[in-house]
Structure 1
Amino acid sequence: MFASPFPDVEIPEVSVYDFLFAEVDQADLDHVALIDTSGGAQTTYRELIERVNATAGALAARGIGVGDVVGLLAPNSSLFAVTFHGILRAGAAATTINALFTAHDIAKQLTDAKATMLITVSALLPQAQEAARTVGITPENLIVLDGDGAAATGHPNADDLLAPGAPAPQVDFDPATHLAVLPYSSGTTGNPKGVMLTHRNLVANMAQIRSLLAMSSDDRILAVLPFFHIYGMTVLLNAALQARATLVVMPRFDLTAFLDTIQEHRVTYGFIAPPVAVALAKHPLVDQHDLSSLRVILSGAAPLDAELGTAVAERLAVRVLQAFGMSELSPVSHIMPADGGQEHFGEVAPLSSCGWPVPNMVNKIVDPATGKEVAYPTEGLSERGELWVKGPNVMSGYLGNTEATTTTIDSDGFLHTGDLAQVDHAGRVFIVDRLKELIKYRGYQVPPAELEALLLTHPAITDTAVIGVTDDDGEEIPKAFVVRRPGTDLTADEVIEFVARQVSPYKKVRRVEFIDVIPKSASGKILRKDLRSPTA
């Protein structure tokens, strides 16, 4: 077992609202909190707090409070930020819904979460209406923030919601046990499950990463990662606001708009997922923009290949960092500090690692075959094993799923991540692969992430994913799905040969399929289940 090398931090027993907004310096009140790139509207911290309180009052006047769950289905915007924190301020829990979901997916989450209200925007209204009808949410409880209003459509809009001017309610709950948010796991290895995160979970994770991220009111943070996903919710929507930074909010990712936004708003800090790193390293559009304001880029949500990260760092002359986490951990459990670790450890962490455990956390690496803990190394790297973590940011459990909860969190409080990892003598953790995604070729373990990282170094490959498929003899073999760079005529044989020259024989790619796009979740994780079919 090994602990975070960073000193423990104090975790106040307060709500998310109080942690973020109860003690705002007067000097910060008129500082810009949010800039909507769609339309250019700016929201100061004073306006944000006032609107959050007004929203909480409006929800309370409609009977929403402690014990209720409200669905929030919207892309990134200042409206999302206000509504999200208004729900929490009212004492209810927010179940944030993927903006790409179909009506069926929305209804499934609303049903499981037992949501009694759904808040959305006009662009997503058709699927929201269908889902609301399916689960029995009445028209007056389907709020369309930017809609035409209840008189015209039957659905209240933001103006209708706030018109009565009801004050924010007085709510009383225990932050350690009271549910704040209910995001759903990605479902890449099974049915999505409601992840129960308390106010203490979210407050703890903000406190754990605060000094390591080193964001300040001088920073302009690019907010393109979706707020409905726990990565964007905690690291951007919450941690950046707590630092009194300015969030430059994009509703969706588009490379040209992304680069234009950095240039126009002089963005200093970027949070991305690995697919964006591929574009930053390889796309010619990058050279047509002035990105000199950027000082830090942090990648999370999926493993970032070290060579790819280094290419981004060198091309943009920025510090590239990596972090690790999962919804069940609120989400950050491991991170490289903003300086890469230089101040604390006298050296920068290798980009192949995800840094160190955050404060107040302890880790184990456990051999999945034997259940025995892997020895901490005196030099070099430890043996591989499943990463187990324990700390105040660990979820309280899966909603209504005791079996899944007890399978994931053991009796000692360690959450079993399902990720294979190693630790080095300096306490840095290296994520090797997903335990359930390992390909077993003739008894040998083949990590898909390793092959994907190698394939991305090929100049004719812009994106890739590797899965295990069954050959004619019933043997599991590695298959690569490849997105070719436009204008190239790369063949399957060339891909196979490229990999074979650089890996052990058992790791060779044995099938290749060219596709137009690799399916990924909103947070950037490869949706391997979408690549699998009976004939794949």
Structure 2
Amino acid sequence: MPIASPRQDIQIPEVSVPELIFGNISEEDEGRVAIVDSGSKITFGELRDDVEKFAGALAARGVGKGDVVALHCPNSTTFAVAFFGILRLGAICTTIGTMATDEDIAKLLTASGARMLLTTSSIGWAGAVGAGKAGLSGDAVVGLTGVNGIAALMAEGHEAPEVEIDPSDIAVIPFSSGTTGLPKGVMLSHRNLVANIVQMVDATDEVVDKTTTFATVLPFFHIYGMTALLNHCLYRRCTQFTFAKFELPEFLFVLQEEKIDFAFIAPPIAVALAKHPIVDQFDLSSLKHVLSGAASLQRELAGAVEKRIGCEVAQGFGMTESSPVTHVRISDGLPLDSVGRLVANTSMKLVDVSDDELREIGVPKSGRSAAGELWLKGPQVMVGYLNNPEATQETLVDGWLRTGDMAEYDADTNVYIVDRLKELIKYKGYQVPPAELESVLLSHPDIADAACVGVIREHDGEEIPKAFVVLREGASLSAEEVMDYVEDRVAPYKKVRAVEFVGSIPKSATGKILRRDLRG
């Protein structure tokens, strides 16, 4: 039998994302600071008004309901204004990573059908170059910084039109590799995002209130940053201090000087908090809670952070296809290596996928269950993959989202992520599709065959992309030459960071790479 959340069901507002966040800002909250970045700050009232002005400027340029607009921008007040301005028009926002190459950007713009790109020269010219490669005209590339940037657009004085947005309308299309393969556009509706915002609020209510200050260092273009950080904190009317990129000294300085209560992190930041000597130079006594996501956090690492900082370390689980949050471990006393229990209005089951029968795995009376694939159901589960009905059908089965993650649960239904069925590699929280790296490797004239997997690096517990390479007969390449070749052709976070030369790549009878055999 499927397992329901131990939390009571909550009512999901039938509104759009902008209406949820800006529709009822009180007079008191209008003057509260919403977001602070390294160069500016904005109150809730100012953010609401700027969103209206920016939406008007986009509408004057022909953007309307259902149009896809790409946003290529680091965390900032500017990101927030642009993001909600797009959604305010009933248009669809597709977010692009700040480290994406021009080739990446061209592919994503084409796949999403974006009619406009909002970008900034502060992260280089890949956005403009990629837009050109995707066939967008110069008028369709809008710079958000500089003298003709977002401030100038808002100063034009165009009023945002009234738009009727149904909660079932698509709000965002972030890209994910899903369970396997190359990036897919994930269609998330306003209802999906609204549901996950209020689910996140419900799950953290015991430790968060309006006075909580947040550090939001993880990228807003990623669904974790978009929902759990940006949207969640705004809806709560909490002040968040955000960062265009992660620099440990700056992060620690802000934690100390602003007396931050709550920080969202990923496992690599946990490693720094646990081990880096510079941490001892800062007073982090105000920090009460740290919530890690984007990849699993090991028990030993979580414990080391708690001991050193004197805070509670929690973690959660989710994926782009679930908007993303499905589990949160926020209560003290629960197992440190668990991702916690289901958020409200959500169900799960573990499925034995070792054969075609797909048997459900029951909750144990004690100890932990056998491992099975985690399947999920709830209002935050995606509508489907953009223009990819086959992948949608494989991932959504009778309303259940197949996560591709292998999990176990205990008698209290705490969930433990133990392995991945899916081939996706997660490096520092970024998604790295093995198929993309393999395509690059196989383009080298001296490489006969190749496969990539994620392996855990011993010295810091980080998952990294490792390539297994079969050389062409008579060819000679060093590991460094292989890594350099890939580095020149992919975004920085996608680089191959270890190479092993092998005689052959293990494959199934159907030609599928047996990645578990490679991992050993």
TM interval, short-chain normalised: 0.7 to 0.9
Task: Name the structure 2 match of 1:294.
Answer: 287
Aligned positions of 1:251-262 closer than 5 A: 251-262=244-255
How far has the Cα of 1:183 moved from its partner? 0.4
User: Of the candidates 413, 420, 431, which is equivalent to residue 417 of structure 2?
Assistant: 431
Secondary structure of 1:194 counterpart: strand
After superposition, give the CA deviation of every residue in 1:442-491 in whole Å (9 maximum; x if it has no partner). Answer: xxxxxx99x84xx75xxxx235447787799xxxxxxxx9xxxxxxxxxx
Task: Report if aligned partners of 1:206, 1:234 keep a CA contact under 8 Å in 2.
Answer: yes
Task: Name the structure 1 match of 2:185.
Answer: 194
Counterpart of 1:249 in structure 2: which amino acid? Answer: T
Change (3 A) 1:33 1:142: same
User: Of the candidates 384, 389, 403, which is equivalent to residue 390 of structure 2?
Assistant: 403
Secondary structure of 1:252 counterpart: coil
Task: Name the structure 2 match of 1:132.
Answer: 131
Change (3 A) 1:188 1:375: closer
Secondary structure of 1:118 counterpart: strand
Task: Name the structure 2 match of 1:416.
Answer: 402
User: Of the candidates 140, 161, 166, which is equivalent to residue 169 of structure 1?
Assistant: 161
After superposition, give the CA deviation of every residue in 1:265-292 in whole Å (9 maximum; x if it has no partner). Answer: 1111100000110111001001010111
Whole-angstrom CA distance in 2 between matches of 1:28 and 1:431: 39
Task: Name the structure 2 match of 1:345.
Answer: none
Task: Report if aligned partners of 2:467, 2:500 keep a CA contact under 8 Å in 1.
Answer: no
Whole-angstrom CA distance in 1 between matches of 2:21 and 2:313: 27
Whether 2:203 is the aligned partner of 1:212: answer: yes
Change (3 A) 1:528 1:204: farther
Task: Name the structure 2 match of 1:239.
Answer: 232
Task: Report if aligned partners of 2:467, 2:496 keep a CA contact under 8 Å in 1.
Answer: no
Change (3 A) 1:329 1:309: same
Whether 2:370 is the aligned partner of 1:377: answer: no
Whole-angstrom CA distance in 2 between matches of 1:230 and 1:92: 18
Which segments of 5 or more consecutive residues in structure 1 lack a partner in the other structure?
Answer: 150-156, 341-347, 440-447, 473-480, 482-513
User: Of the candidates 330, 334, 345, which is equivalent to residue 323 of structure 2?
Assistant: 330
TM-score (norm 1): 0.80
Secondary structure of 1:373 counterpart: strand
Task: Report if aligned partners of 2:21, 2:231 keep a CA contact under 8 Å in 1.
Answer: yes
How far has the Cα of 1:531 moved from its partner? 5.0
Change (3 A) 1:188 1:4: closer
Whole-angstrom CA distance in 2 between matches of 1:387 and 1:187: 14
Task: Name the structure 2 match of 1:185.
Answer: 176
Aligned positions of 1:270-349 closer than 5 A: 270-337=263-330, 339-340=331-332, 348-349=333-334
Task: Report if aligned partners of 1:366, 1:388 keep a CA contact under 8 Å in 2.
Answer: yes
Aligned positions of 1:483-494 closer than 5 A: none
Task: Report if aligned partners of 1:223, 1:232 keep a CA contact under 8 Å in 2.
Answer: yes
Whole-angstrom CA distance in 2 between matches of 1:126 and 1:180: 27
After superposition, give the CA deviation of every residue in 1:55-102 in whole Å (9 maximum; x if it has no partner). Answer: 111111211111100000011100001110110001101000000001
User: Of the candidates 351, 354, 368, which is equivalent to residue 336 of structure 2?
Assistant: 351
Whole-angstrom CA distance in 2 between matches of 1:437 and 1:134: 29
Whole-angstrom CA distance in 2 between matches of 1:244 and 1:431: 32
Q: Aligned residues: percent identity?
A: 46
Task: Name the structure 2 match of 1:100.
Answer: 99
Change (3 A) 1:96 1:533: farther
Counterpart of 1:61 in structure 2: which amino acid? Answer: A
Superposed structure 1 runs of 4+ greater than 3 Å apart: 186-189, 436-439, 462-472, 526-536
RMSD: 2.8
Change (3 A) 1:67 1:191: same
Change (3 A) 1:260 1:195: same
Whole-angstrom CA distance in 1 between matches of 2:199 and 2:35: 23
Secondary structure of 1:314 counterpart: helix
Secondary structure of 2:176 counterpart: coil
Counterpart of 2:154 in structure 1: which amino acid? Answer: L
Change (3 A) 1:179 1:534: farther
After superposition, give the CA deviation of every residue in 1:15-51 in whole Å (9 maximum; x if it has no partner). Answer: 00111111112111101001112x2x22111101000
Which segments of 5 or more consecutive residues in structure 2 lack a partner in the other structure?
Answer: 426-452, 471-478, 503-517
Secondary structure of 2:337 counterpart: coil
Secondary structure of 2:158 counterpart: coil
How far has the Cα of 1:145 moved from its partner? 1.1
Task: Name the structure 1 match of 2:28.
Answer: 27
Whole-angstrom CA distance in 2 between matches of 1:471 and 1:34: 47
After superposition, give the CA deviation of every residue in 1:110-155 in whole Å (9 maximum; x if it has no partner). Answer: 0000001110112235212211211222222211111232xxxxxx
Secondary structure of 2:403 counterpart: strand
Whole-angstrom CA distance in 2 between matches of 1:527 and 1:264: 34
Task: Name the structure 2 match of 1:489.
Answer: none
Counterpart of 1:276 in structure 2: which amino acid? Answer: I
How far has the Cα of 1:369 moved from its partner? 0.9
After superposition, give the CA deviation of every residue in 1:365-399 in whole Å (9 maximum; x if it has no partner). Answer: 00011311112212221111000000000000000
Change (3 A) 1:187 1:101: farther
Counterpart of 1:36 in structure 2: which amino acid? Answer: D
Task: Name the structure 1 match of 2:429.
Answer: none
Between stretches 255-264 and 416-425, larger displacement belongs to: 255-264
Whether 2:27 is the aligned partner of 1:60: answer: no
Whole-angstrom CA distance in 2 between matches of 1:32 and 1:307: 37
Whole-angstrom CA distance in 2 between matches of 1:46 and 1:180: 23
Task: Report if aligned partners of 1:188, 1:527 keep a CA contact under 8 Å in 2.
Answer: no
Change (3 A) 1:71 1:533: farther
Task: Report if aligned partners of 1:189, 1:529 keep a CA contact under 8 Å in 2.
Answer: no
Task: Name the structure 1 match of 2:15.
Answer: 14
Counterpart of 2:112 in structure 1: which amino acid? Answer: A
Task: Report if aligned partners of 1:188, 1:529 keep a CA contact under 8 Å in 2.
Answer: no
How far has the Cα of 1:164 moved from its partner? 2.6
Change (3 A) 1:258 1:466: closer
Counterpart of 2:241 in structure 1: which amino acid? Answer: V
Task: Report if aligned partners of 2:70, 2:96 keep a CA contact under 8 Å in 1.
Answer: yes
Counterpart of 1:401 in structure 2: which amino acid? Answer: N
Counterpart of 1:393 in structure 2: which amino acid? Answer: Q
Change (3 A) 1:204 1:528: farther
Whether 2:357 is the aligned partner of 1:392: answer: no
How far has the Cα of 1:310 moved from its partner? 0.6
Corresponding pairs, count: 457
Task: Name the structure 1 match of 2:445.
Answer: none
